[in-house]
Amino acid sequence: MVTGRALVVAILGFLVLPAAVVAIAAFNDRALLSFPPQSLSLRWFIKAFSYRDFQAGFYNGLIVMLASSGIALVIGTAFAVALDRYRFAGRALIESLLLAPLVVPHFTIGLGFLILAAQLGAMRSFAVVVVCHVVLVLPFVLRSVYISLRNLDRRLELAAESLGARPARVLFTVTLPLLLPGLVSGWLFAAILSFNEFTASLFVTSQRTQTLPVAMYNYVREYADPTMAAMSLIFILVTALLLTLANACFGLGKVLNVDHGR
Amino acid sequence: MQRRPFFGLFVTPAAVTALVFTAALVAVLQYSVRKHVPGSLDVGGLTFDNFTAMWRPLYGRVFLDTLLLCLLTSAISLLLGYPLAYALVRARSAMMKSAILIIVVTPLFLGEVVRTYSWIVVLGNNGFVNSVLLKLGMIAAPVQLLFTVTGVTIALVHVTLPVVVVMLAAALAHIDPAYEKAAESLGAGPVRVFMTVTLPLSAPGIIAGFTTAFAWTFSAFATPQLVGGGKVNMISNLVYQLGFANFNFPFAASLSVAALALTFVSLWMLRFATRPFEKLGQH
């Protein structure tokens, strides 16, 4: 029992270690990495916020994130409802194509959209980045909305129907409100994943449309100072905070299907 | 006729998205059988040279390394993920459960660049691990961890561990505790209960976790690129290098096609090999 607990703590330690180390490195005053830091400062945070490529990357990433997670939410929710309720030709085919980005390497998807964009003459546009991200985040929306649908009590809809509500009214006043936790968490997953997506983005973005992870990757390749540590720490804290909020609001365990199903 | 309100409205956007995704894959396929025109992004006529050029030892080596790294990473993720998933599902206090869940899930959403950079800071010659070991006097000179298979594997496991834990936990959470209680009441010790009841019943989660870890590792790019630093290469690095350093997009495309084929063959073989175990989870 005690060794079991120690093992779990050790594995959790492995997961947390890089975040903890980056947090220390981010406050190091010197440009070279050293442990422990001799003196502390906030200069790398100031540099991270004032670096032009990071600013531009932040705004580009925000545009791409809002567009792609919004579109994915609508497409994914609609299709999850169809999957849950209707039988139709091509159902399995469309489902497996939409879930395929979970196993198809991101560099292949990125390369595909790059070639597609080149053929359509849309190489430097935001549209190709957004479409690529929609495809990449859609499986996560689909999954979390589908799980919520499975847990939905159909009798509530039938009750609304029997009281004379038309399909549109049932959808907007009963089904969608009941699905809200699944919708919000699905959108949140999509938004975070889009904002942090890197490999495919590296292929489909140009200098003009590059998102924050691409800008950060280019920075790591050129400079070794702790500016990236400051950026990473902000990323880690914001992501953890959003997930903690999501957990407090609607229980991540349920959304990820790791709570007791019975 | 069956009533299907909003059927077209619900399915059409998804069908269009699926079509666009297919078009992107077809674009790769189409480029993979075209001639490379040096110094130009346009491609020439039909050719299978890209695929025959792949049979050089240089590329074979990278394919083999990629497969081995995927298998190694998935296996380690499974070994480390199981105790964590078990603790997550069986944690008594809700606080404990949430804490484990947040720690596990956060890296999942961080993105490859931040995670990879963090591991450079941990593993580098002036990094955390070496500084601590030097201070403690356990080593005389820094241990080379960056640019090695060990370093790349550690960073890759960090990427796949969270998703493996989530999948294992989903399987474990759906096991009825009554089965374990029954085995216990019949006199089985904790080890026997685990080996003969819990472990077999969680087989679907093990298979799903391993498969996903395999596919995700295959897809990794920044980790082998930055932690491997050119010393440890995966197919993703080769594709990027050919595309953006040599502008040989047809060859990059043919490598992607080969990688995709390899992914699906591997996943199919995994599924085939694990089919007898899948039945264990039916209850």
CA distance B224 to chain A (A): 12
Res. A158: pLDDT tops 70: yes
pLDDT of B1 > 50? The answer is no
pLDDT in tens, B181-221: 899 889 888 888 888 888 888 888 999 999 999 999 999 99
**How much is the average pLDDT of A246-260?**
76
CA distance A84 to A79: 8
Weakest-pLDDT range from A21-30, A192-201, B35-44, B67-76: B35-44
Q: CA of B94, closest CA in chain A: separation in Å?
A: 10
Residue B34 β-bridge partners: B46
pLDDT at B246: 85
Query: What is the arithmetic mean of pLDDT over A46-54?
Result: 92
DSSP letters, A147-188, are HHHHTS-HHHHHHHHHTT--HHHHIIIIIHHHHHHHHHHHHH
pLDDT at residue number A261? 44
**Chain B 69-108, residues with CB within 8 Å of chain A CB atoms:** 80, 83-85, 87-89, 97-98, 100-107
| Per-residue pLDDT, A77 | 95
Whether residue B283 has pLDDT greater than 60: no
pLDDT tens sequence across A167-190: 899 999 999 999 998 899 899 989
Percent of chain A surpassing pLDDT 70? 98
Q: What is the pLDDT of residues B78-102, one digit of tens each?
A: 999 999 999 999 888 888 888 999 9
Taking CA atoms, what residue in B is nearest to A169? B5
Q: How close is the nearest chain B Cα to the Cα of A158, in Å?
A: 13
Angle at B157 between CA A227 and CA A13, to 5 degrees: 70
Q: What is the pLDDT of residue B54?
A: 83
Q: Which of residues 157-216 of B touch A (CB under 8 A)?
A: 158, 161-162, 166, 169-170, 173-174, 176, 211-212, 215
B9/A171 touch (CB, cutoff 8 Å), yes or no: no
Across residues A32-44, what is the average pLDDT?
A: 79
What pLDDT was estimated at residue B91? Answer: 86
**What is the predicted pLDDT for the residue at A99?**
95
Inter-chain touch B80–A14, beta carbons under 8 Å: yes
Orientation of helix A2-26 relative to helix B94-110, angle to 10°: 50
Beta carbon pairs, A and B, within 8 Å:
275
Half-sphere exposure of B98 (CA within 13 A, CB side): 14
Contact A105 B161 (CB under 8 A): no
How many whole angstroms separate alpha carbon A137 and alpha carbon A140?
6
Q: Measure B150 CA to nearest chain A CA, in Å.
A: 15
Q: Each residue of B93-138: pLDDT tens digit?
A: 888 888 999 999 888 888 889 999 999 999 988 888 998 898 888 8
pLDDT digits (tens, 9 = 90+) for A189-241: 899 999 999 999 999 999 999 999 999 999 998 888 889 999 999 999 999 99
**Spatial CA neighbour of A179 closest among A67, A66, A73:** A73
Predicted confidence (pLDDT) per residue in B13-66, tens digit: 999 999 999 999 999 999 999 988 887 667 888 888 888 888 888 898 999 999
pLDDT tens string A65-79 = 999 999 999 999 999
Asked if A98 and B14 come within 8 Å (Cβ–Cβ), the reply is yes
Position with higher pLDDT, B2 vs B178: B178
**Chain B residue whose CA is closest to A16:** B103
Q: Do A196 and B17 touch (CB under 8 A)?
A: no
Examine the pLDDT at A250 and tell me if it is beyond 90: no
Over residues B135-161, mean pLDDT: 91
User: CB-CB: which of B132, B158, B259 is closest to A108?
Assistant: B259
pLDDT at residue B127, rounded to an integer: 87
The rounded radius of gyration (Å) of the Cα atoms in chain B is: 23
- Tell which of B109, B129, B160, B254 to mutate to test the A interface (max A CBs under 10 Å): B109
Cross-chain residue pair B118–A21, CB shorter than 8 Å: yes
Give the per-residue pLDDT at A262. Answer: 36
Three-state SS for A56-118 is HHHHHHHHHHHHHHHHHHHHHHHHHHHHHHCCCCCHHHHHHHHHHHHCCCHHHHHHHHHHHHH
Q: Both tokens of residue A50?
A: 């004032």
Q: B243, A203: Cβ pair inside 8 Å? A: yes
DSSP state of B5: T
Model ipTM value:
0.91
B222-268 pLDDT, tens digit per residue, is 999 999 988 899 999 999 999 888 889 999 999 999 999 998 998 89
Cis ω before B57 (30° cut-off from 0): no
**Average pLDDT value for chain A:** 90
Test A21 with B253 for CB contact under 8 angstroms: no
CB contact under 8 A, B109 and A189: yes
Determine the residue of chain B that is closest to A244 in CA distance: B102
The pLDDT assigned to B191 comes to: 87
The average pLDDT across A137-160 equals: 91
Query: Cβ of B39: how many Cβ atoms within 10 Å?
Result: 6
**Minimum distance, in Å, between the CA of residue A199 and any CA atom of chain B:** 6
Say whether the peptide bond before residue A36 is cis (omega within 30 degrees of 0).
yes
Residue B282's pLDDT is 64
Task: Give the minimum alpha-carbon distance from A156 to chain B in angstroms, rounded to a whole number.
Answer: 17
Q: What would the DSSP string read from start to end of A4-39?
A: HHHHHHHHHHHHHHHHHHHHHHHTBSSSS--SS-SS
* Cβ-Cβ contacts under 8 Å, B126 against chain A: 32-35
pLDDT confidence bin for B281, thresholds 50/70/90: low
Evaluate whether A196 touches B111 at the Cβ level (below 8 Å). yes
Tell me what the mean pLDDT of segment A48-60 comes to. Answer: 94
Residue of B nearest to A226 (CA): B121
From residue A204, how far is each of A90, A125, A126, B160 by CA, in Å?
Answer: 29, 9, 9, 24
The minimum CA-CA distance between B12 and chain A, rounded to whole Å, is 9
Give the model's confidence band at A41: pLDDT under 50 very low, under 70 low, under 90 confident, else very high.
confident
